[in-house]
Amino acid sequence: MEKTQLKNILIKIGETNPKYTLDKQVYNSGKLIKFIDNPSEEVQLAAVEENLFSIKYIQNTSERVQLAAVEQYGYSIQFIENPSEKVQLAAVEEDPFSIQYIQNPSQQVQLAAVEQDGLSIRFIQNPSETIQLAVVKKAGNLIQYIENPSEKVKQLAKSKGY
């Protein structure tokens, strides 16, 4: 069945019985948000809280909705266009490996990710010496995941027995 046909059927059901309007049904099935044009922030939040993957069907989400999604599951950041640094931080705090879905993460976001789990360095391109040091300070053996570590980073890894 085509998306527009299904949408029309769902709208007709809501017209017949107002307790089954799309806005109200989002609370039971978050993915129904894809059939709602310009949903309110409240409806967007309901959809994300019911099914966090419903964020991929919502255009122009507010920061509040984005935070609700990434705080449940950091990887949902992959469905958010241009997330703010606050949203990026929330995502890596929930799951540091979600950094792989963030384009050009700030040093603060990178640091938050590697402090949570040093292995997240694998997803950071050209980490600064500060980030490299933070990783190796956690565990010297993580130097193996750093391309071209600085001398200072190598010395720190060596002092940690690696």
What digits encode the pLDDT tens for the residues 25-59?
888 889 999 989 899 999 999 999 999 899 999 98
The CA distance from 64 to 71, in Å, is 10
- How many C-beta atoms surround the C-beta of residue 142 within 10 A? 24
Q: Which residues contact 121 (CB under 8 A, 6 or more apart)?
A: 114, 127, 131, 132, 135, 142, 145, 146
Rounded Cα–Cα distance for residues 41 and 61 (Å): 8
- The per-residue pLDDT for range 50-103, each reduced to its tens digit, is 998 999 999 889 999 999 999 999 999 999 999 999 999 999 999 999 999 999
Q: pLDDT digit string (tens) for 129-149? A: 999 999 999 999 999 999 999
Distance CA 154, CA 144 (A): 10
Q: State the pLDDT at residue 66.
A: 97
Domain boundaries, the chain: 1-60, 85-162
Burial class of residue 78 (count of CB atoms within 10 Å of its CB; 0-12, 13-18, 19+) = middle
Report the phi/psi class of residue 146: left, alpha or beta, with left for phi > 0 and alpha for psi in -120 to 50.
beta
